[in-house]
Chain A
């Protein structure tokens, strides 16, 4: 605004002032001693038109002085103050706009962070669930393995006990059979040979379903 006004240019101030002073003095002189060619002023005045070209010339001189004076002492500080205030307001608005942009950016970042946090939490929960499921599966399999191992050991022990009991029973039955046979025959036969025969008998006479 100021720059635009400053472009008005025109004659230098000092020239305007000098011309103004000359016109003022000349106008005063013309008004005081009107030349002959201005005699028509009297006729105009008689007709109700009060014209004094000396005053007109002097007034033009006053204005030539007044223009730069008003421009320098009235307009320039006013324009500077208005420009300064406008710049200040623009700066304030720009700051506010920057803050608004910054706030929007922060809000966006915050929302992104919230989203990221939620995603991380979800992933972590899923991971924990998966880990728990793996752990459960592992524990179940370990328990199953242990049960199977215990079952196997129990079966082996049972087998061993059964075999042991069967052997004892077989031996006992063989002794009973020998004793019974001995009593029946009253004959002391070869003990080793009888025993072999009894064993073969017992082997063929094992309980079905074993």
Chain B
């Protein structure tokens, strides 16, 4: 574990150096007040996130892990029974995502499997990387915002494809109301819906960023508590108390990947629900985001 951390720190430092070389603003950030929050943790980037090169390095690690997993998984595909554990786990993951998509969206949910599986893999492996390295791509708000923009954009595209442009826009106007009420309420609903759609980007990206980056900060803070806890024979004894958070962080890795993909399914089902449930339901499903972790 320590070796991983050290390697991660070195990689991150390399990424940071590269980022700082290309980013003249980075030097300004280094003197900012937020940087002071970092303390003496080289891997902890405080509030100013990873540099462009840092994200690139972590993304390369994530993609390498996905590539390695893919190679290992594909070796186990020959045969009637999947005996290789990576293949078995991948199948479990695939079936889980497929059941989730079909359960929420319906049979059409299978057509989103490439999108869902890609998101799942990147988020899951990104979160796993954050367990062993000082940060990860999913611990970067900008990267998470990219995923959120892709999700929301794809949902809008699906809504337009299913309902037509005007049908999709009308979807934001809420239920059909009598003329007087429609004049008064429909514009408000429309604005609220637009805001809601915009906020989906914020909620998706901030949720993942907060969980991963916050989890990392919690581990670092708890490790700080265990620093110099005793001095035996002139040697400082450091207790990595933050390690006790690892099981929870591991759970977070899976839960956050699941939530991200689950919300995509919910959003898609909301913009295409008329196909399945008819107009009787109208807009009873609501357009707000369900409460999640």
- Chain A residues in contact with chain B, CB under 8 A? 1, 4-5, 7-8, 27-28, 31-32, 34, 42, 45-46, 48-60, 62-63, 66-67, 70-71, 73-75, 77-79, 81-82, 85, 88
Chain B residues in 8 Å Cβ range of A78: 73-74, 77, 90-91, 94
Residue among B59, B81, B112, B113 facing the most chain A CB atoms (10 A cut-off): B113
Q: Smallest CB-CB separation from A45: which chain B residue?
A: B48
Contact with A8, one of B90, B114, B146 (Cβ below 8 angstroms): B114
Cβ of B147 within 8 Å of any chain A Cβ, yes or no, is yes
Q: Is the CB of B112 within 8 A of A8?
A: yes
Is there an interface contact between A56 and B143, defined as CB atoms closer than 8 Å?
A: yes
B interface SS class: helix
Query: What would be 9 A-B contacts, judged by CB atoms less than 8 Å apart?
Result: A1-B98, A49-B47, A50-B48, A50-B140, A57-B146, A73-B70, A78-B74, A78-B91, A78-B94
Given A45-B49, A55-B142, A59-B137, 10 additional A-B pairs, CB 8 A: A4-B108, A8-B114, A52-B49, A55-B140, A70-B114, A70-B121, A75-B94, A75-B117, A78-B90, A78-B91
**Residues on B with beta carbons closer than 8 Å to the beta carbon of A50:** 45, 47-49, 140-142
Q: Evaluate whether A55 and B107 lie within 8 angstroms (CB atoms) in the complex, with A5-B113, A50-B142 already known.
A: no
Q: How far is the CA of A6 from the CA of B28 in the complex (A)?
A: 49
Decide: A31 near B23, CB < 8 A? Known: A48-B47, A49-B141, A78-B77.
Answer: yes
Interface residues of B in 14-33 (CB under 8 A from A): 22-23, 25, 28-29, 32-33
Residues of A within 8 A of B70 (CB): 73-74
A102 to B66, CA, bound (A): 49
Taking CB atoms, residues of chain A closer than 8 Å to B59 are 59, 62
Q: Which residues of A contact B25 (CB under 8 A)?
A: 34, 42
A32: chain B residues at CB < 8 Å are 22-23, 52
Cβ-defined contact, A5 with B114, below 8 A: yes
B139 to chain A, nearest CB (A): 10
Structural contact, A59 and B117, CB atoms closer than 8 A: no
Report A58 CB to chain B, min CB distance, Å.
Answer: 7
Q: Is the CB of A70 within 8 A of B145?
A: no
What 4 pairs between A and B have smallest CB-CB spacing? A50-B49, A59-B146, A55-B142, A71-B114
B74 smallest CB distance to A (angstroms):
6
| In the complex, per-residue mask of B207-235: 1 if CB is within 8 Å of any chain A CB, else 0 | 00000000000000000000000000000
